[in-house]
Amino acid sequence: MANQKGGVGKTTTTVNVAAALALAGQRVLVVDLDPQGNASTALGVSHHEGVRGIYDVLIDAIPLDEVIQASSSVDGVWCAPSTVDVVGCEIELVGLDEREFRLRSALRVHVSEERGASSGTNTGSDNVTDNGRRYDFVLIDCPPSLGLLTINAFAAATEVLIPIQCEYYALEGLTQLVRSVDLIQRHLNPELRISAILMTMFDARTRLSAQVAAEVREHFGALVLATSIPRSVRISEAPSHGETVLTYDPNSVGALSYREVAIELTRQPLAAR
């Protein structure tokens, strides 16, 4: 989930799509790359100073297995937490070898480890999916910038989902974001694609939301998911309870919308987008 604008719904989308997939029986790893650690909070994963997290993975090459915690709010979701020291990663990474590929290397080692092969037990002993993989999905919550943390995410991922908030200037900055993905695709990760655009905080009562949605659809066509996420108090309340909206209020319109998004994301083959 990437967009260098803050407050557009990256974190909310990450944790709620993760929850929707997990509640449908999938195993999901969330990598929290934002120093604010909001994804870790919503998943009920401790990330106070001193907790080992994604900083240790990126800077000291600590195996992911040693930092991942199971979510306390949703079974089937695990999280590599972010702590405040992740702020320093943007600068500290500059001087390190393979600075763009540190997350990719850590993920490759972690997801290919066999059941019981690793020393850590954080991800449980029943450590694989039905098809022998450790996770069905890995979701990465990016910080609001296009710096080295987001570049690490782009180098590790195959798909970029861009949440766009239905407000004035929604398209501002998107040219730069699309160009960044394009550059990474050409130089660092040929597999990377923008695979979905999600309209968030849609307010059906305002003409503005409809106008912005129409403009985004005109610009991005079939990449825009049919489901948009309505503005909803339940969605914004859930994190303060250490929960996702899917567990906090499963029948709310926000929970239903994120379930629809998870269905859309898994139904469409990448090539068809």
Q: Which residues bind ligand ADP (CB under 6 A)?
A: 6-12, 38, 144, 200-201, 229, 231-232, 235-236
If we measure between CA atoms, which residue out of 122, 125, 54 comes closest to residue 86? 54
Separation CA 246–CA 164 (nearest Å): 21
Binding to Mg ion (CB under 5 A) within 170-209 occurs at: none
Q: Which is nearer to ligand ADP, 63 or 173 (CB)?
A: 173
- Least Å from the CB of residue 96 to ligand ADP: 26
Is residue 5 within the footprint of Mg ion (CB under 5 A)? no
Beta bridge partners of 161: 196
Secondary structure string (H, E, C) spanning 105-151: HHHHHHHHCCCCCCCCCCCCCCCCCCCCCCCCEEEEECCCCCCHHHH
- Backbone phi, then psi, for 50, in 5-degree steps? 100, -25
Which of ligand ADP, Mg ion, none is residue 189 near (CB under 5 to 8 Å by kind)?
none
Q: At how many degrees (to 10) do helices 148-156 and 174-187 cross? A: 60
How far is it, in rounded angstroms, from Cα 169 to Cα 216?
Answer: 11
Closest separation between CB of residue 231 and ligand ADP, Å? 4
Q: Does residue 10 bind Mg ion (CB under 5 A)?
A: yes
For residue 214, what is the DSSP state?
Answer: H
How far is it, in rounded angstroms, from Cα 259 to Cα 240? 21
**Residue 69 interacts with which of ligand ADP, Mg ion, none, CB < 5 to 8 Å by class:** none
Told to check if 47 binds Mg ion by CB under 5 A, we report: no
- C-alpha–C-alpha distance, residues 273 and 264, integer Å: 11
Considering only 32, 34, 113, 249, the residue that binds Mg ion (CB under 5 A) is 34
**Piece of 29-37, 45-53, 108-116, 122-130 that binds Mg ion (CB under 5 A):** 29-37
Quote the longest CA-to-CA distance of the chain: 55
Q: Choosing among Mg ion, ligand ADP, none, which partner's interface includes residue 121 (Cβ < 5 to 8 Å by kind)?
A: none
**Minimum CB–partner distance for residue 268 and ligand ADP (Å):** 22
Least spacing, CB of residue 12 vs ligand ADP, in Å: 3
- Nearest distance from residue 39's CB to Mg ion, in Å? 7
Residues 61-90 as x/- pattern, contact with Mg ion by CB under 5 A: ------------------------------
Question: Site residues (CB under 5 A) for Mg ion?
Answer: 10-11, 34
